Amino acid sequence: MRRIAAMACILLAAGSALGQGWGLPDLGGEPESSAARSFSLRAIPSHTAVGPGQTFRVALRGELAEGWKYYSPVSGIEDLDASLAVDGPFEHIATRWPADEVKPDPGFGVPLGAYHGTFAAYVEFRAPEDLAPGEYTVTIRPQGQICEEVCLRLRGRNALEASAQVSIAAEAAVNPGWTDALDAGWDGAYTVKQLRALHVDVGETGEGTPMVSAAGDVTGIGLWAGLGLAVLAGLVLNIMPCVLPVIPLRILTIVQMAGESRRRYVTMGLAFAGGIVLFFVGVAVVSGVLRVALGEALNLSDHFRLEWVRIVLAAVLVALAANLFGAFNVTVPRKLAGAEKGGREPSHVKSAGMGLMMAILATPCSFAFLATALAWAQVQPLWLGTLGILLIGAGMAVPHVLLAAFPNLVNRLPKPGRWMELFKQSMGFLLLPAVLYLLYTLADMPARPWLVAGFVVALAFGLWMGGTWVRYDAPLRRKLLVRGSAVALVVVAGVLLLPPPKPAVVEFQPFSEAALADAATDGRPVVVKVTASWCTECKILDATTYQDPATAETFAAHNALPLKADVTNEDSPASRWLERRFTGAAPPVTIVYGGAPAAKPAVLVGRYTPAELREALDKARPAE
């Protein structure tokens, strides 16, 4: 339901057509082996054998490295809460979680639970009546995030899993490794609903409602204290780091007004303040709808957790930078802009749009004042809560209203000249780090940042093409041809580059010499794919051979373990192993071990087909 609020906030931004800035979601990236190093898993079944129709349990024992935490399923925030995905032929009956440690979090405005050290979650299964006798595998994959100084989403290259073997037999057999402590852990564990019920405030109706305060209990805050806190929260939003991309543009607007009328200076400042207030009017409306229709609390930063929102903002920032570099110009109808005939002065619409986007960008930089003011507003009667949210917007707009109230300040600005054009272009360069950051937030999928970067480059080129390849007085036919081609270029780039990459047909595990040794001990074949982020041939190999279903069939037929050795950096463990064992080898190269500890591996250099991979596995397999 929080996505409804996110989408409403973004629609306001889109209406301005002038948004800019970045969000700061606490999602980072580390080398792909970090999740495995920081969070070890073991699946322990209650039975080694069960009969048809019998139930059994599997304990997922997790051990977190010191300083790391695994978010539990209490916040209701998608991609953050823990969950367990299960694979296998057995019917999934229930999942239970141990008690967690819960603390309010100022970044989310809801309680966040976490596990530290060692803990066990449980999954209960039932064997189908018609399941044939034999040994079967149950695989459990934890979802959510683990965090230390950065956070890792447990998917893609950071995905983890643990498996257990359970047989279907005439007689059940209890697993000797299932201890009394695990039995007691199951008895004391909770369903997700029960776990969340431990962390709610119960009202007069007896129904639990999620906590909304990131600063503790807000019921003791009085009327005037709450309204004053709302104004103070709005004032502080002006200095949040998320608004940095807007501040240079705000300064540029003021500089461009040097020499203009006092009246225009005042009205432009009020338009900027009005854009800020407009955003909070939208927030108040969305909050009211969520409270009345859905009983949900509003979280102002939810929209930045949507990948498409960050992609849109990156594209808008690139468009703004291109505009400041002079690649194209946006003209506004003279009556709408309020400019003099023949002028290109900043319009009131543009000023209001910058104010609107400044308010949007400030919200993900949540802090105690804002979280508490918003929480207070949402536990008040609807009319009073709406007033509180509007006062947050008024508080943010106050400095800009005061600036507009002193038009004499513009007389102290330098006269327009060449320096102003250089200043404008400099502001364009200041927007580019925000674009890089937004691309960085997409780094949980290795190819995603580069695909989005390719799209924003095509967007910038299309804007430059449409804005400079034809003159203002060019024939209509030429304008339509050139600008139509520019639009088509951007659309085609979007269609090709923006859809998320397809899930990998073959999921590689991070390379480690321990994994290689374990596989050799078990007699299991191993395919080590040596790759690097700068290796173009490696990308082609991934898109052809490793996206081919025949490759997955080859791995399944040989029960081969796929390992990915990333040698992007020369000091990585994979790089040191490759240099020590295969001197002079460079990606793309694939080393195929047949399963015998002393057997010589097969080496595939460059690109190859699934058939060639199957042949290499057959050759490397030890003789029966």
Q: Ranked by mean pLDDT, which of 62-66, 74-78, 441-445 comes out on top?
A: 62-66
- The count of structural domains within the chain is 3
Residues 154, 196 within the same domain: yes
Of 521, 490, 542, nearest in space to 596 by CA: 521
198 and 227 belong to one structural domain = no
The pair of three-digit structure tokens given for residue 1, joined into one six-digit string:
């339901």
Determine the pLDDT at residue 322: 78
Name the residue range of residue 191's domain. 40-210
pTM of the model: 0.42
What does the pLDDT average to over 596-624? Answer: 75
Kindly state whether residue 342 falls inside one of the protein's structural domains: yes
Q: Is 203 in the same domain as 313?
A: no
pLDDT of the residue at 244 = 58
Does residue 569 carry a pLDDT above 70?
Answer: yes
In a domain, 101, yes or no: yes
Are 603 and 612 a contacting pair, CB within 8 Å?
Answer: no
Assess whether 320 and 281 both reside in one domain: yes
- Domain match, 162 and 225 both: no
Peptide bond preceding 588: is omega within 30 degrees of 0, i.e. cis?
yes
pLDDT digits (tens, 9 = 90+) for 376-393: 776 677 788 788 888 888
Most confident of 39-53, 218-232, 482-496: 39-53
Highest mean predicted confidence (pLDDT) among 102-116, 125-139, 387-401? 125-139
What radius of gyration, in Å, describes the C-alpha atoms of the chain?
Answer: 29
| Euclidean distance between CA atoms 146 and 72, whole angstroms | 10
Same domain as 295, residue 225? yes
In the predicted structure, residue 82 carries a pLDDT above the cut 80 = yes
Q: What is the pLDDT of residue 135?
A: 93
The vertex-98 CA angle with 93 and 101, nearest 5°, equals 140
- 188 and 321 together in one domain: no
Among left, alpha and beta (phi > 0; psi -120 to 50; other), residue 281 is alpha
- The token duo for 34 is 């970090």
332 and 425 co-located in one domain:
yes
* Range with the poorest average pLDDT among 166-170, 429-433, 496-500, 528-532: 429-433
Helices 368-378 and 382-404, axial angle in degrees (round to 10): 140
Q: Model confidence over 282-304: pLDDT tens digits?
A: 888 887 777 666 655 565 555 56
Give 26's pLDDT tier (boundaries 50, 70, 90).
very low
Tell which wins on pLDDT, 246 or 559.
559
Average pLDDT over the chain, rounded to an integer: 74
Q: What's 194's domain CATH number?
A: 2.60.40.10
In a domain, 549, yes or no: yes
Give mean pLDDT, residues 216-220.
50
Residue 7 burial by CB count (10 A; 0-12/13-18/19+): exposed, middle or buried? middle
Higher pLDDT, 370 or 6: 370
Non-local (6+) Cβ contacts of 514 within 8 A are none
Other Cβ atoms closer than 10 A to 96: 22
Whether residue 345 is contained in a domain is answered as yes
pLDDT score at 414: 60
Last residue of a domain, one of 184, 210, 236: 210
CA distance 323 to 319: 6
- Whether the CB-CB separation of 569 and 562 falls below 8 Å is answered with no
Residue 280 tokens read as 């909070």
What is the pLDDT at residue 14? 35
Taking the alpha carbons at both ends of the chain, their separation in whole angstroms is 59
107 and 182 inside one domain: yes
Average pLDDT over residues 54-67: 92
Q: Mean of the pLDDT values across residues 154-171?
A: 89
Does residue 273 carry a pLDDT above 80? yes
How far apart are alpha carbons 585 and 530 in whole angstroms?
A: 9
Which pLDDT does position 243 carry in this prediction? 63
